[in-house]
């Protein structure tokens, strides 16, 4: 490491502060509810089981971190009455000081979607699925032009059992129809995933497919990158670079993984990778940058819900801060001259820098708890919800809602 390694300069704190000032990350309502794997679900006493509890939790996370002012919604679980639930949502927004975020339709849980939703061979089921998408668009409008964030479980489990080709056409049709209904400021985010729950082919399997579908649908359709939705070895930051270059990046679902779509807390397995993703965003001058929706999408099977969420927001901030420490001008020169070792040291010098003290300063400067996790543990909130919600969770069934 050279003595002039990144992060040690006078402007380091300023850069970190500026980066943190501009960084907000949305939490998912379902991140506060009990979740599990196909082998079972472990209940937590304090898990949220109502929309109000989810907002209460999200509000608490934001109070502690100051960086998560919105909550992604899941239509099926959070708005069982569709648009009819919007007034209640607005009440909760006010009460808990966090806004509604992206609207997530659910096209995978109903029995009719066994063989697919908008890519189902049955025209009737496709119509039904599109109706749900259109409802989601309307909910988004009612909530104030929110993004509609589409993840499809559609696919097939065995070679030859479905026509991959026809399903592409059905997808194009449904997404086109949905795009047509979007309000002037709404966007449609198209997510991709290589496998699970479909185990042979997934209709939107990679960023290339998502991008082509988004383009076909229209200019308000963008691609959503879930960091857990890639094959082993995939260079995700390169995909991010491409999507920025093509002005087609809409947002992220952050989580981490070692094997499949493990949905672990972000940065817990490969923190260097998330640092690299943030770096690609910070060096980009794509118009897409300002529209990026940063969202957490994790499944806290074992970690405490509240702890996991606060920890995740903190980790995201810290890795973003590290990325902000990269001396971009110096790096660009070293990249241009192919000074590999020097370039690498400048780059990862920022990663090695312990930014926790700087992030702590930033929190203090914003009248936030300097140690949000500590504050959470000492603040009594977890005891409160464990007590209040314990009985309900003891009898909880297995639904994700």
Burial status of residue 97 (CB atoms within 10 A of its CB: 0-12, 13-18, 19 or more): middle
User: Which of 143/314 has CB closer to a second copy?
Assistant: 314
User: Interface residues for a second copy in 4-23 (CB under 8 A)?
Assistant: 5
User: Interface residues for a second copy in 89-128 (CB under 8 A)?
Assistant: 108-109, 111, 114-115, 121
Residue 335 touching a second copy (CB under 8 A):
yes
172's tokens: 């194009």
To a second copy, the closest distance from the beta carbon of 230 in angstroms equals 8
- Give CA separation, 148 vs 42, 44, 68, 151, 209, in Å: 30, 30, 19, 10, 18
- The 10 Å Cβ neighbour count of residue 63 is 19
Residue selected from 329, 336, 367, 395 as contacting a second copy according to rule CB under 8 A: 336
> Are the CB atoms for 286 and 245 separated by under 8 Å?
yes
Residue 259 touching a second copy (CB under 8 A):
yes
- The 10 Å Cβ neighbour count of residue 154 is 25
Residue 287 touching a second copy (CB under 8 A):
no
Residue selected from 10, 81, 124, 158 as contacting a second copy according to rule CB under 8 A: 158
- DSSP E strands in 113-170: the ranges are 148-150, 155-156
How large is the angle between the packed helices 164-181 and 207-217, nearest 10 degrees?
Answer: 50
User: Which of 61/181 has CB closer to a second copy?
Assistant: 61
User: Which of 287/397 has CB closer to a second copy?
Assistant: 397
Choose the stretch contacting a second copy; rule: CB under 8 A; options: 10-18, 57-65, 174-182, 371-379: 371-379
Phi, psi (deg, nearest 5) at residue 70 = -140, 160
- Give CA separation, 145 vs 99, 179, 183, 275, 290, in Å: 12, 13, 7, 30, 16
Choose the stretch contacting a second copy; rule: CB under 8 A; options: 24-32, 63-71, 174-182, 343-351: 343-351
Choose the stretch contacting a second copy; rule: CB under 8 A; options: 84-92, 93-101, 130-138, 233-241: 233-241
Residue 3 touching a second copy (CB under 8 A):
yes
To a second copy, the closest distance from the beta carbon of 183 in angstroms equals 29
Residue 401 touching a second copy (CB under 8 A):
no
- Residues 94 and 35: their CA atoms lie apart, in Å, by 27
Residue selected from 40, 184, 287, 380 as contacting a second copy according to rule CB under 8 A: 40
To a second copy, the closest distance from the beta carbon of 120 in angstroms equals 8
Tokens 């300063």 locate to 361
330 - beta bridge partners? none
């Amino acid at each position: 490491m050279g003595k002039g390694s990144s992060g040690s300069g006078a402007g380091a704190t300023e850069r970190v502060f500026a980066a943190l000032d501009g960084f907000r990350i949305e939490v998912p309502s379902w991140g506060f509810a009990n979740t599990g794997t196909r082998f079972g679900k472990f209940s937590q006493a304090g898990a949220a089981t109502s929309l109000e509890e989810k907002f209460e939790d999200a509000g608490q996370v934001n109070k502690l971190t100051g960086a998560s002012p919105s909550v992604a919604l899941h239509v099926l679980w959070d708005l069982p009455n569709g648009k009819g639930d919007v007034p209640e949502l607005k009440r909760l927004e006010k009460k808990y000081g966090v806004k509604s975020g992206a609207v997530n339709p659910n096209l995978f849980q109903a029995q009719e979607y066994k063989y697919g939703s908008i890519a189902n061979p049955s025209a009737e089921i496709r119509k039904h699925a599109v109706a749900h998408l259109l409802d989601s668009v309307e909910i988004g409008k009612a909530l104030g032009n929110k993004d509609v964030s589409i993840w499809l479980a559609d696919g097939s489990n065995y070679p030859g059992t479905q026509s991959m080709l026809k399903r592409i056409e059905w997808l194009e049709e449904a997404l086109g129809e949905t795009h047509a209904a979007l309000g002037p400021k709404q966007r449609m985010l198209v997510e991709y995933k290589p496998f699970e729950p479909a185990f042979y082919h997934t209709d939107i399997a990679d960023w290339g497919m998502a991008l082509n579908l988004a383009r076909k649908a229209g200019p308000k359709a963008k691609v959503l990158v879930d960091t857990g939705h890639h094959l082993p070895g995939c260079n995700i930051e390169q995909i991010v670079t491409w999507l920025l270059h093509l002005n087609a990046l809409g947002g992220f679902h952050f989580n981490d993984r070692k094997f499949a779509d493990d949905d672990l807390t972000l940065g817990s397995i490969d923190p260097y990778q998330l640092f690299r993703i943030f770096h690609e965003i910070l060096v980009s001058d794509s118009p897409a940058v300002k529209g990026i929706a940063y969202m957490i999408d994790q499944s806290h099977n074992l970690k405490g819900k509240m702890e996991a969420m606060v920890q995740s927001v903190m980790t995201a901030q810290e890795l973003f801060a590290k990325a902000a420490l990269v001396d971009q001008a110096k790096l660009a020169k070293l990249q241009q001259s192919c000074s590999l070792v020097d370039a690498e040291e400048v780059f990862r010098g920022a990663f090695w820098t312990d930014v926790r003290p700087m992030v702590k300063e930033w929190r203090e400067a914003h009248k936030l708890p300097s140690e949000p996790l500590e504050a959470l543990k000492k603040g009594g909130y977890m005891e409160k919800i464990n007590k209040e919600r314990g009985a309900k969770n003891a009898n909880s069934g297995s639904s994700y809602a």
